[in-house]
Chain A
Amino acid sequence: MPEENQRPQQSSGPGGGGPRPGGGPGGRSGPGGKRGKRSYVRRKKVCRFCVDKVDLIDYKKADVLGQFIQERGKILPRRMTGTCARHQRWLSVAIKRAQNIALLPFGAEI
């Protein structure tokens, strides 16, 4: 059928095509995970460490690490900070070390 592909066929890359539900990888778990109902499309978050080309996340830098934890001391998930998987692994190791040496809190102080 020669006329089947009348619409220009875009290659559906990581951004996600139009008719695909869920809104792409960024918003996959965003709006509650209901298929077909997208309330918003999250803009693409970049990993801060990949942009700066960081090869080692230092556990002694509490000011940097402190941006990735809640006030209660819990580590923020990747979908909130936009970190890539590799850096999230390194980050969590560094955060736990910093927590052990009292540079970062484990939980909320009463």
Chain B
Amino acid sequence: MEERLYDLIFICRPDTPEADIDKIISTLEHAAAEKETKIEKIEKWGRKRMAYRVHKLREGFYVYMSLRTTHGELVKELERRLKVADPVIKYLTVRLDEELKRQAKLKRHRERRAARRPRKAGAGTSGSGTTGTGTTGAVSGGSEQAVASS
């Protein structure tokens, strides 16, 4: 299986002590290590105001993790552990590798196109944008009196 990239965000109650949050993080790390997962990043965004009330709370402690793995079933396991943990009130897992692949492809196309086109100094040519080979001179705009009346 190819390698997948996941984003995992979970929110804890704002009044949980730091030690409990670290405990949850280490639980997730253990579960990830069992399945040969590399945890790329762990960020604690800290207390943030939430856009709506969750479990009657207005604020939450946000934690963000980024995982790289070939075992897709790990996500289910992590979510199960988060569901069971008491301080966690919300979590979200997003799979990102396809999007990143698409982003890289678009970037490549754009760079390739920019490199291929010879740098035209003038703007205002009618950009019917095919064919990188330089056309010399007259780009016909079609407004010439080319009608030959016989």
Using CB atoms and an 8 Å cutoff, list the residues of chain A in contact with chain B: 2, 5, 8-11, 53, 55-56, 59-60, 62, 97, 99-107, 109
B30 within 8 A of partner (CB): no
Q: Which one of A55, A104, A109 lies within 8 Å of B103 (CB-CB)? A: A55
Q: Which residues of B contact A (CB under 8 A)?
A: 9, 11, 50-54, 60, 64, 90, 92, 94, 99-100, 102-103, 106-107, 110, 141-143, 147, 149
Report yes or no: A97 in contact with B92, Cβ–Cβ below 8 A. Answer: yes
Given A2-B147, A8-B143, A10-B143; A102-B103 close (CB under 8 Å) = no
Enumerate the 4 nearest inter-chain pairs by beta-carbon distance, A residue then B residue, closest first.
A102-B50, A105-B51, A2-B149, A55-B103
Contact residues in B for A10 (Cβ distance below 8 Å) = 143
Say which residue of B94, B102, B110 sits within 8 Å of A97 (CB atoms): B94
**Which residues on the B side are within 8 Å of A8 (C-beta)?**
143
Given A11-B143, A102-B50, A102-B54: A55 and B92 within 8 A (CB)?
no
> Which listed residue, A11, A56, A99, A106, touches B141 by the CB 8 Å rule?
A11
CA distance A2 to B54 in the complex (A): 75
> Judging by beta carbons under 8 Å apart, are B107 and A55 in contact?
yes
Report A77 CB to chain B, min CB distance, Å. Answer: 21
B51 / chain A contacts, CB cutoff of 8 Å: 62, 99, 102-106
Partner pick for A9 among B102, B110, B143, B149, CB 8 A cutoff: B143
Among B9, B60, B102: residue with most chain A CB under 10 A? B9
CB distance from A18 to the nearest CB of B (A): 15
Contact A105 B90 (CB under 8 A): no
Most buried by A among B11, B53, B99, B100: B99
